[in-house]
Amino acid sequence: MRSLVAIIFTLLFLPVRAEQINIAVASNFIMPMKKIVKVFEKKSGHKVVMSFGSSGKFFAQISHGAPYHIFFSADQVKITALEKANLTVKNSRFTYAIGALVLWSPTEDYFVDGAAFLAEGHFNKLAMANPKLAPYGRAAQEVLANISLSEQVRTKQVIAENIAQAFQFAKTGNAEIGFVALSQVMNNGVISSGSSWVIPHSYYQPIKQDAAILKRAKNNQVSQDFIAFMRSTEVKNIMTSFGYTTSHYEH
């Protein structure tokens, strides 16, 4: 009898019908989002299909009708543009994360003082995301300008399409060092491998990352539930463990 009651109780709290949503996610947020989605799917019973890539490419796709329910951009500009085009659900926009930049090499003890290492120039290639397309690329450009090294390292720059590719360039040795997202090399609050210089926030404009529910998901409850979950303390703690700061929390 107790088993029957337990089964009935469980069924009462399961979704009436498991649904699927498709989300477009900036490539710097791959690892945190995978962890967040795993928890959400377990709690809700719904399926979240993730697509990762350049925010610029997602913006173009969404502008042309790509079937995403939610867009997690690497900046605020693209969400603003989608709002102006009436392609987002009103009042669904929020800043889900504030990113951090790090100079990183997979080689242990490759450098200690990142700024001094860049100035000395004892490297052949420096990977960074395209400043014209990627917020983390723009941040890297600002850092180089602030330490007066823009011209000195220009010929050594290897420009990647997005921050994920910049990380791959550095990780695989196609570039000895790279400006990457802190979330790509941090887990559980620790950078566990390689050499790193976490760039002071004063060296670049805050990388505020916004998300919004897209117009096609206006009446989609799962999309609303996922955004609500993104605002929770549980998700905030996950993001903090990957080096992000947040401007929201659960009251």
Residue type, 142: E
- Residue ranges at the known binding site: 55, 163
Binding site for molybdate: what residues are annotated? 55, 163
pLDDT (tens digit, 9 = 90+) per residue, 42-76? 999 999 999 999 888 999 999 999 999 999 999 99
The neighbour count for residue 137, using CB atoms within 10 Å, is 24
Residue 97 and residue 239 in contact, taking contact as beta carbons nearer than 8 Å? yes
Per-residue pLDDT band at 3 (split at 50, 70, 90) = low
d(CA 125, CA 243) in angstroms, rounded, equals 25
- What pLDDT does 197 receive? 97
Q: What does the pLDDT read at residue 250?
A: 39
Which part of the chain has CATH 3.40.190.10? 21-98+208-241, 101-198
DSSP-derived secondary structure letter, 211: E
Q: What is the pLDDT of residues 236-247, one digit of tens each?
A: 999 999 999 986
CA neighbours within 13 Å on the CB side: how many for 74? Answer: 30
What mean pLDDT comes out for the span 189-201?
94
Q: Is the pLDDT of residue 160 over 90?
A: yes
The whole-number pLDDT of residue 192 equals 84
Sequence-distant (6+) residues with CB within 8 A of 12 are none
Give me the mean pLDDT over the 145-174 stretch. 95
Judged against a pLDDT cut of 90, whether residue 15 lies above it is answered with: no
Token reading at 217: 């998901």
What pLDDT does residue 2 have? 55
Tens of pLDDT, residue by residue over 168-181, are 999 999 999 999 99
The chain-wide mean pLDDT, for the chain, equals 91
129 near 144, Cβ under 8 Å? no
Q: What is the CATH number of domain 21-98+208-241?
A: 3.40.190.10
Domain 101-198 has CATH 1.10.645.10: no
Residue 249 pLDDT level (bands cut at 50, 70, 90): very low
- In the structure, what pLDDT confidence band is assigned to residue 9 with cuts at 50, 70 and 90? very low
Q: Exposure of 61 by Cβ count < 10 A (0-12 exposed, 13-18 middle, 19+ buried)? A: middle
Q: What is the mean pLDDT of residues 222-244?
A: 95
pLDDT at 5: 47
**Phi and psi torsions of 232, nearest 5°:** -80, 160
Q: Cite the DSSP H helix spans in the chain.
A: 2-12, 30-44, 55-63, 77-84, 114-120, 135-146, 163-171, 221-230, 233-241
Write out pLDDT tens, residues 113-132: 999 999 999 999 999 999 98
